[in-house]
Amino acid sequence: MLSSQLRDAGWEVFAPSRSELDVRCAKSVETFFENLDRIDALVNNAGITRDSLFARQSEEDFDEVVTTNLKGAHLCSQAAAIPMMRQRDGQIINIGSYSALHPPMGQAAYAAAKAGLIGLTKSYAKELGKRNIRVNCVLPGFLETKMTASLSEEATEAARKRHTLGRFNTKEEAAGFIVNLLSMNHISGQVFQLDSRA
């Protein structure tokens, strides 16, 4: 959805699969980005969940979530920032989660990784601002995606009831917000929550 809206807005989009870019592996990230001459925007949206009560969560699952969701964004941001600094222009958008602010039970690893993304966003914004690189974090809200498809109907309805408007955000509106944000040149270091949970 985001890729198609970006293309419609005139962007050339690279949306690599994990076989093309494994964000968990520094070498894979380096190889992918060294072949790009110019990078105008990076959207860090790789994410996984391994939900479990923290007392039962395996070290392997915890590490996998943090490595993919947090370290992966860090590695890609480092690689993308190099050409952006040369250009003295660019944007990085981290895709966060409401769970970073209000985590449910069983999402300790996911919430910690997404909270870390907010910290990275604000830190990067301060470091890169002098090179005209904007860094923001978008919390798209509860979206009906592959990641949420496995939730029970009861869990989905309970989540819906926490929204003051009684409805979820959509993939189309979340993508549209990101495209619009990429057109703005004076916003950085911000966290945008795109739903109606107070």
Say which CATH number the domain at 81 has.
3.40.50.720
Give the whole-number percent of the chain exceeding pLDDT 90: 87
The answer as to whether 187 is a domain residue is yes
Residue 80 scores a pLDDT above 80: yes
Contact assessment for residue 184 and residue 148, using Cβ atoms and an 8 Å cutoff = no
**pLDDT on residue 149:** 76
What is the pLDDT, as a whole number, of residue 147? 73
pLDDT score for 29 = 98
Which pLDDT belongs to residue 144? Answer: 80
| Location of structure tokens 């990230």 | 29
Q: What is the mean pLDDT of residues 136-155?
A: 86
Task: Judge whether 124 counts as a catalytic residue.
Answer: no
Q: What would the mean pLDDT of 74-91 be, rounded to a whole number?
A: 98
Domains of the chain: total? 1
Query: Residue 198 domain-assigned?
Result: no
Give per-residue pLDDT as tens, 95-135.
999 999 999 899 999 999 999 999 999 999 999 999 999 99
Q: Which of 61, 160, 78 is nearest to 113 (CA)?
A: 61
State the catalytic residue, choosing from 32, 62, 98, 110: 110
Query: Would residue 160 count as lying in a domain?
Result: yes
Residue 92: predicted pLDDT: 98
The pLDDT, as a whole number, for residue 40 is 98
Task: Kindly state whether residue 175 falls inside one of the protein's structural domains.
Answer: yes
Q: What are 92's strand-pairing partners? A: 42, 135
Q: What angle do CA 53, 110, 182 make, to 5 degrees?
A: 160
The model's pTM? 0.93
Please compute the mean of the pLDDT values over residues 139-151 and round it to a whole number: 83
Across-strand partners of 42?
A: 92
Section 52-74 average pLDDT:
95
Residue 143 covered by a domain:
yes
Domain presence at residue 80: yes
pLDDT band at 155 (very low <50, low <70, confident <90, very high): confident
* Domain membership of residue 69 as a residue range: 2-193
Would you place residue 172 in the very low, low, confident or very high pLDDT band (cuts 50, 70, 90)?
Answer: very high
* Structural contact between residues 23 and 76, judged by C-beta atoms closer than 8 angstroms: yes
Q: Largest alpha-carbon pair distance within the chain?
A: 51
CA 29 remoteness from chain centre: 16
